[in-house]
């Protein structure tokens, strides 16, 4: 009994510290220091939440920039990669089909950036390489009537550099780019 009572008290104390106090303190610190990020990096338009800058959204219009393919169907509750081996016939066939469709939609496209035909590990990556965004410019120009030069400037304005100058690759958030494109079309 001498050892059981202190063990129970210590367990209760640690549960309160680790299960209540610590989560409340870290949540409060996150809300205070990074309110947008802590709230899910939500994008609002006219007071209505239309998405998150952290998640890709399905885009079907030829007049808009297309995000990476999603094995999850752009559903954040089913985040998943395809889990197909890159040497499997099914995967090769799928990539070949996507490349053919991309060439049909973008006839001026000479080289296809890999991120336009492959999905991300989560199936929800909101970013494209600058090359993948630029590869879509001729199609969007034709569909919208905006010049390729205007669209190039729009893409350039949305290129985000490496994080902290060293991590990752330059990227373009497709949702933010499409919102800017929609504003340009108004």
Confidence of residue 157 (pLDDT cuts 50, 70, 90): very high
| pLDDT in the model for residue 58 | 85
| pLDDT in the model for residue 43 | 86
Polymer length of the chain? 186
Give the list of residues 6+ apart from residue 123 with CB closer than 8 angstroms, or none: 70, 71, 72, 73, 74, 78, 79, 80, 81, 82
CB-CB contact of 177 with 65 (8 Å)? yes
Q: In 3D, which of 53, 55, 101, 99 has the Cα closest to residue 76? A: 55
Mean pLDDT, rounded, of the chain: 88
Confidence of residue 91 (pLDDT cuts 50, 70, 90): confident
The answer to which of 6-10, 116-120, 151-155 has the lowest mean pLDDT is 116-120
Beta strand 127-128 pairing with 171-173: antiparallel
Task: Check whether 64 has a pLDDT greater than 80.
Answer: yes
Give the residue with greater pLDDT, 110 vs 161: 161
Number of C-beta neighbours around residue 17 at 10 A: 11
CA pair distance 99, 117, nearest whole angstrom: 6
| Cα dihedral value 72, 158, 150, 112, nearest 10 | -50
Task: Check whether 160 has a pLDDT greater than 90.
Answer: yes
Q: pLDDT > 90: what percent of the chain? A: 46
Tell me the domain boundaries of the chain.
1-39, 41-185
């Amino acid at each position: 009994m001498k050892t059981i009572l202190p063990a129970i008290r210590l367990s209760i104390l640690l549960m309160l510290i680790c299960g209540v106090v610590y989560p409340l303190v870290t949540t409060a610190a996150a809300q205070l220091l990074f309110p947008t990020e802590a709230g899910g990096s939500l994008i609002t338009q006219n007071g209505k939440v239309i998405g998150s800058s952290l998640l890709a959204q399905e885009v079907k219009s030829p007049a808009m920039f297309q995000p990476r393919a999603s094995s999850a169907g752009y559903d954040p509750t089913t985040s998943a990669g395809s889990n197909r081996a890159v040497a499997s016939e099914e995967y090769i066939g799928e990539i070949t089909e996507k490349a053919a469709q991309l060439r049909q939609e973008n006839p001026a496209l000479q080289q296809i950036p890999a991120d336009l035909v492959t999905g991300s590990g989560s199936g929800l990556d909101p970013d494209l390489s600058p090359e993948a965004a630029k590869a879509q410019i001729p199609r969007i120009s034709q569909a919208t009537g905006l010049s390729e030069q205007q669209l190039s400037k729009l893409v350039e304005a949305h290129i985000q550099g490496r994080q902290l100058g060293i991590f990752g690759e330059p990227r373009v958030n497709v949702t933010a780019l499409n919102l800017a494109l929609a504003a340009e079309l108004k």
